[in-house]
C-alpha cells in the first residue's frame, strides 16, 4: 500500500507545529494545507478548525505533527508526539526534517498507538512488504489554489488517480478562508501557508470591486428599460420582426444586449466556467470598443467621410453600367451559344428595367449619402462589430438588385427543372404520390402523353437560355455572399474569441491546467520518495474549444454537397444568420 502526502513547498521551512489538512476520502492520501506553529493551546486549535470547517465546507483536521530542528527546542519532538492523544485521528503523521537535508522522515501511527509505517532509516527494513510505502508530493500551493483542473483529453492514468488529483485541487481551492490567517496576524494561532510572506492585494482591484456594484445596478436598470422598449407590440408585427431578423445590426444589438445582461448581473459567478464566460465577454467588449474608437479616429480625420461618399456613388454607377453591358452581351450570342431569341429578349429587357430603376434610386439618394455615412460612422463607438454589421447591411442594400436578379433567375430555373422532372416521370409511367411522398406507377391516355410531350419539348429547348441567366446571376450573388461572409466571420471572431482565457494561458498558464507531471526531488535510501508536482497547462486549441463564447452561427447550415445540390436544382440559398441555441 502506498501512502501519498501532498505537502506544500511553502511549509518546507516552517517552524515546528501541527499539520492541518484533510484525508482524501476513498484514497490512501492526505493533503497538507498549513502548519500551526508552537506555542498553541489545543482547545483553541479545535475551536479554530471547527470555525474553518463551517466556512470552507472541507473536513479539516489535524493530520499530525511537524518538527523542524531549532536551537532551544530539543524536546519538541516528544511533546508533539504526545499531542496525538488529544486530537482525534485514524492515523497520525509524525514528520520531521533534519538540518542540511532535503528529505523528511515520516512515521505513521495508528489510532491505537501502534506504528503503521516507519521511514527514518534507523531500523531494519526487512519487513518492508508489510509496511506502507510513503511518497511525498511537493506542490506549489499558490498555483494549485488559483488553477482549474480540466478533464484530460487523453487517457494518461487511471481513473482513480484522476479522481484523487481532482479532489486534491478542489480541497486547496475551497480552503481559501484558511489562508487569510497567517503568521503575522494578531491572535493565539500562527500559521504558515502560501500567503505567509504577504497576501496578494491591490488597492486598485479593491476600488474597482467596490465601484462595480453600483455601476452594474445602473447598467442592469438600463438593460431592463431596453428590453421593456423592445417588448412593445409594434416591434413584434410581422414586417418589422422579419426585417430586424435579417439586418446584421439588429442581430448584433440583440446579441450584445444579452451578453451585457450576463456580464453586468449583480449575481456573483459561482462556477469557474461562469466566471470565465463573464471575463471573456467583458474583455471582448473592451477590445471591440477600442477597435471601434480607432476606426472613428481614422474615419473623421482628413475628411475621409466625404472622400468615401464621393467614391461610393461612382462605384455604384460603375457596377450598374457593368451589369447593363453584361445583360446586353447575354441578349446577343454569348460565347457563340444559340439562345431562344424571344425569351432572351424578354429576360434581358426585364432585368435592364430593374437596373434603370436602381440607377434612378442611387441618383435620388446621392445628395444624402455623405450625411448618412457621417451618422452611420458614429455607430463604431459601440464597437467595431457594430461598424462591420452596418457595413454588411450597406452592402446588402447596395447589391439588392443583384439579389433580385438571382431570385428571379432561380425561381424561373427551378420551375423548369421541376416541370421537366415531372414530365420525365410521365414518359416512364410514373407519378409523384403527394400523400405517401413517393413515386408510384400510373397509366396515362394518349391526350395526356401528347400534351406532356409538347410541354417537355418546349421546356427542354427553353432551358439553356434560362440556365445561362441563372448561372450568371448566381455567380454574382455568390461573390456578394462571400464578401458578406468575410464580414460575418470577422464579427463572429471578435464576439466569440476567448481573449481572457488566452491571456491566462500566455501569462499564467497554471490557471488553466490539463494535468500534472512529477519529477523526482530526492530518492535517498531509508527515506520516503520525494516528488515535485508541476502543472501541465491546456493547449491553445483546447483553450479555444473550451472557453469559446457561444454566438450566432454565420456558417451554412447545409453541407457542401447539399449546398451544391440546391444550386444545381435552383433552390434559393438564404445566407441569413440564425442565432445559436447552444449553451454552456
Q: What is the pLDDT of residues 251-291, one digit of tens each?
A: 888 888 888 888 777 677 778 888 888 889 889 989 999 99
Whole-number Å distance between alpha carbons of 66 and 16:
5
Predicted pLDDT of residue 200:
59
Check whether 315 has a pLDDT greater than 80: yes
Whole-number Å distance between alpha carbons of 355 and 156:
65
Burial class (CB in 10 A: 0-12, 13-18, 19+), 454: exposed
Among residues of the chain, what percentage have pLDDT more than 70? 83
Q: What are phi and psi of 136, to 5 degrees?
A: -95, 130
CA-nearest of 89, 21, 6 to 56 is: 21
Whole-number Å distance between alpha carbons of 498 and 399:
34
240 vs 281, higher pLDDT:
281
CA-nearest of 441, 473, 490, 488 to 330 is: 473
How far, CA to CA in Å, does 364 sit from each of 91, 359, 361, 390, 574?
A: 90, 9, 5, 21, 29
How far, CA to CA in Å, does 571 sit from each of 405, 441, 474, 484, 564?
A: 14, 27, 11, 20, 10
Listed in sequence order, the residues at least 6 apart from 170 whose beta carbon sits closer than 8 Å to its beta carbon are: none
CA 421 remoteness from chain centre: 47
- Length of the chain equals 584
Strand 133-139 with 430-433, pairing: unpaired
Check whether 128 has a pLDDT greater than 70: no
Whole-number Å distance between alpha carbons of 102 and 507:
31
pLDDT tens per residue, range 57-90: 888 888 888 888 765 555 566 677 777 778 877 7
Predicted pLDDT of residue 290:
92
Q: What are phi and psi of 556, to 5 degrees?
A: -60, 140
> Which three-class secondary structure state does DSSP give residue 521?
strand
Check whether 576 has a pLDDT greater than 60: no
Listed in sequence order, the residues at least 6 apart from 494 whose beta carbon sits closer than 8 Å to its beta carbon are: 284, 287, 288, 291, 383, 384, 385
User: Taking the domains of the chain in order of start, what are their residue ranges?
Assistant: 2-192, 299-497+549-569
Check whether 553 has a pLDDT greater than 80: no
| Contact present, 554 and 489 (Cβ < 8 Å) | yes
CA dihedral 219, 222, 227, 231 (to 10 degrees): 170
Our CA angle for 445, 446, 449, nearest 5°, is 90
CA-nearest of 577, 563, 536, 525 to 153 is: 536
Q: Which range has the worst mean pLDDT, 273-277, 375-379, 424-428, 535-539?
A: 424-428
Amino acid at each position: 500500500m502506498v501512502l501519498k502526502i501532498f505537502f506544500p513547498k511553502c511549509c518546507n521551512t516552517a517552524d515546528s507545529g501541527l499539520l492541518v489538512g484533510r484525508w482524501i476520502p476513498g484514497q490512501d492520501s492526505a493533503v497538507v494545507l498549513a502548519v500551526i506553529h508552537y506555542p498553541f493551546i489545543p482547545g483553541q486549535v479545535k475551536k479554530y478548525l471547527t470555525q474553518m470547517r463551517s466556512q470552507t465546507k472541507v473536513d479539516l483536521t489535524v493530520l499530525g505533527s511537524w518538527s523542524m530542528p531549532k536551537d532551544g527546542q530539543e524536546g519538541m519532538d516528544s511533546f508533539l508526539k504526545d499531542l496525538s492523544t488529544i486530537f482525534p485521528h485514524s492515523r497520525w503523521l509524525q514528520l520531521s526534517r533534519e538540518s542540511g537535508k532535503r528529505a523528511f522522515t515520516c512515521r505513521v501511527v495508528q489510532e491505537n498507538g501502534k506504528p503503521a509505517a516507519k521511514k527514518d532509516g534507523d531500523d531494519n527494513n526487512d519487513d518492508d512488504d508489510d509496511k506502507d510505502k510513503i511518497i511525498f508530493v511537493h506542490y506549489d500551493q499558490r498555483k494549485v489554489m488559483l488553477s482549474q483542473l480540466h478533464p484530460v483529453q487523453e487517457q494518461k492514468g487511471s481513473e482513480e488517480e484522476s479522481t484523487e488529483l481532482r479532489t486534491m485541487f478542489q480541497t486547496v481551492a475551497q480552503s481559501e478562508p484558511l489562508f487569510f490567517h497567517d503568521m503575522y496576524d494578531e491572535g493565539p494561532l500562527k500559521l504558515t501557508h502560501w500567503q505567509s510572506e504577504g497576501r496578494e492585494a491591490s488597492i486598485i482591484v479593491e476600488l474597482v470591486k467596490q465601484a462595480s456594484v453600483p455601476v452594474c445596478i445602473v447598467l442592469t436598470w438600463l438593460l431592463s428599460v431596453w428590453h421593456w422598449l423592445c417588448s412593445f407590440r409594434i416591434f413584434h408585427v410581422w414586417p418589422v420582426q422579419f426585417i430586424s431578423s435579417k439586418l446584421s445590426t439588429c442581430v448584433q444589438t440583440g446579441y450584445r444586449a444579452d451578453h451585457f445582461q450576463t456580464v453586468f448581473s449583480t449575481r456573483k459567478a459561482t462556477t469557474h466556467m461562469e466566471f470565465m464566460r463573464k471575463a471573456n465577454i467583458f474583455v471582448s467588449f473592451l477590445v471591440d470598443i477600442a477597435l471601434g474608437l480607432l476606426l472613428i479616429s481614422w474615419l473623421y480625420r482628413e475628411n475621409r467621410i466625404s472622400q468615401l461618399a464621393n467614391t461610393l456613388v461612382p462605384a455604384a454607377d460603375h457596377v450598374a453600367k457593368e451589369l447593363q453591358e453584361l445583360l446586353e452581351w447575354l441578349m446577343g450570342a454569348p460565347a457563340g451559344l444559340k439562345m431562344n431569341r424571344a425569351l432572351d429578349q424578354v429576360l434581358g429587357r426585364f432585368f435592364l428595367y430593374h437596373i434603370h430603376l436602381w440607377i434612378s434610386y442611387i441618383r435620388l439618394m446621392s445628395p444624402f449619402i455623405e450625411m448618412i455615412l457621417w451618422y452611420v460612422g458614429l455607430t463604431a463607438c459601440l464597437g467595431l462589430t457594430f461598424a462591420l454589421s452596418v457595413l454588411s447591411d450597406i452592402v446588402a442594400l447596395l447589391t439588392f438588385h443583384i439579389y433580385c436578379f438571382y431570385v428571379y433567375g432561380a425561381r424561373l430555373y427551378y420551375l423548369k427543372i421541376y416541370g421537366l422532372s415531372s414530365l420525365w416521370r410521365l414518359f416512364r409511367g410514373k407519378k409523384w404520390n403527394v400523400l405517401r411522398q413517393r413515386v408510384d406507377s400510373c397509366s396515362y391516355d394518349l391526350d395526356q402523353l401528347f400534351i406532356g410531350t409538347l410541354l417537355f419539348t418546349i421546356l427542354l429547348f427553353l432551358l439553356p437560355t434560362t440556365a445561362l441567366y441563372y448561372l450568371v446571376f448566381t455567380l454574382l450573388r455568390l461573390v456578394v455572399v462571400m464578401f458578406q461572409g468575410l464580414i460575418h466571420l470577422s464579427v463572429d471572431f471578435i464576439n466569440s474569441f476567448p481573449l481572457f482565457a488566452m491571456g491566462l494561458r500566455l501569462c499564467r498558464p497554471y490557471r488553466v491546467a490539463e494535468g500534472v507531471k512529477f519529477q523526482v526531488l530526492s530518492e535517498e535510501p531509508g527515506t520516503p520518495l520525494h516528488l515535485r508536482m508541476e502543472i501541465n497547462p491546456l493547449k491553445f486549441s483546447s483553450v479555444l474549444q473550451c472557453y469559446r463564447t457561444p454566438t450566432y452561427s454565420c456558417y451554412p447550415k447545409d453541407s457542401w454537397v447539399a449546398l451544391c445540390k440546391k444550386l444545381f436544382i435552383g433552390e434559393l440559398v438564404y445566407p441569413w444568420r440564425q442565432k445559436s441555441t447552444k449553451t454552456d
